[in-house]
Amino acid sequence: MAQHDAQIIAVVGATGLQGGAVTRRLLQDRWPVRALTRSPEGRKARAVAELGAEVVKADLSDPVSLERAFDGVHGVFSVQNHHISGYEEEARQGKQVAEVAKRVGVAQLVYSGAGPGVQGSGVGSWETKLKVAAHLRTLDLPVTILHPTAFMELMTEPKFFPPASVWHLMPKLMGSARPVGWLTVEDLAAIVAKAFGDPDRLIGREVILASDVQSIDACRAIWHEVTGRPPRRFPMPRLLFERFAGTDETTMWQWLGANEVEFDTRPTLAIHPEALTVRQWLEQKKAPV
């Protein structure tokens, strides 16, 4: 693939899960990447620099630092984390990233939100992202809005406490037979790269991303078939989980139990037909936690 000459993509959250995957994918596709972080000297930022990204210091709460970081870039990938900033600040940061991008003349922004796109769920992290998405649509800025559903990494990444969360409290609060939309972070990154690589197709689109729909019962059975044993479950009490993780996820799972959502994989697979199913993901992981 040809080098995308001088078409720098600024990646917000490049030291994190989504931004990290997006950075790796864009570099692989030969885009020059400018990676934003609050701590350029940190271990994660140095690892991003070693991959070939230009690492710059920026704080999403500070528009001057964003103006510097976006100077001369072609595109911006934007993601925020309410667990770090709180809901109100998440919304402010999400809007601010887009406003600064527009002001400095960025050609394209790809925003990563979350959830099934339902207004009024009361799930803080979904509501915030819908507010940001609505603001983006008012800005006259070429944007692609992606709403990934549950990441398959919830089953495999220790940082999400899978034994207590996805294998215990999620099915307990939501119902273990309830369908859930799933996507890997790598497939989100591949779709982000496609949005920058094929702007005519994806600018102006708002897509709920799911490449598979499976209940927790089904995921548990697939896990058992793939690894030869059931996933480890830890029956952590809800209040204890909330003390560590807050109430966003528990509110979300309860809402998903009380409300039927039709997750549709077709829009995602139309953009990225290679996106993995839960079975393919677990087969690839081979020995998950």
Ligand X SMILES: NC(=O)c1ccc[n+]([C@@H]2O[C@H](COP(=O)([O-])OP(=O)(O)OC[C@H]3O[C@@H](n4cnc5c(N)ncnc54)[C@H](OP(=O)(O)O)[C@@H]3O)[C@@H](O)[C@H]2O)c1
Name the site residues for ligand X (rule: CB under 6 A).
13, 15-19, 36-39, 45, 58-61, 79-82, 84-85, 114, 125, 148, 150-151, 154
Q: Which is nearer to ligand X, 141 or 152 (CB)?
A: 152
The answer to whether the beta carbons of residues 190 and 24 sit under 8 Å apart is no
Q: Which is nearer to ligand X, 200 or 262 (CB)?
A: 262
Least separation in angstroms between CB 24 and ligand X: 13
172-176 LR contacts (CB < 8 Å, sep 24+): 172/238, 173/238, 173/250, 173/253, 173/254, 173/257, 174/216, 174/253, 174/254, 174/256, 174/257, 175/257, 176/215, 176/216, 176/217, 176/220
Least separation in angstroms between CB 5 and ligand X: 27
In Å, what is the CA distance from 174 to each residue of 25, 171, 221, 252, 260? 33, 5, 18, 8, 11
φ/ψ (deg, to 5) at 165: -95, -75
Q: Which is nearer to ligand X, 60 or 73 (CB)?
A: 60
Q: Coil, strand, or helix at residue 61?
A: coil
Least separation in angstroms between CB 255 and ligand X: 14
| CA–CA gap between residue 240 and residue 247 (Å, rounded) | 11
φ/ψ (deg, to 5) at 213: -130, 115
Residue that is written with structure tokens 């119902």 in the block:
175
Q: Which is nearer to ligand X, 19 or 179 (CB)?
A: 19
Least separation in angstroms between CB 26 and ligand X: 15
Q: Which is nearer to ligand X, 84 or 258 (CB)?
A: 84
Least separation in angstroms between CB 127 and ligand X: 11
| CA–CA gap between residue 156 and residue 140 (Å, rounded) | 39
Q: Which is nearer to ligand X, 10 or 202 (CB)?
A: 10
Q: Coil, strand, or helix at residue 249?
A: helix
Least separation in angstroms between CB 200 and ligand X: 26
| CA–CA gap between residue 79 and residue 15 (Å, rounded) | 12
Least separation in angstroms between CB 145 and ligand X: 12
Q: Which is nearer to ligand X, 3 or 80 (CB)?
A: 80
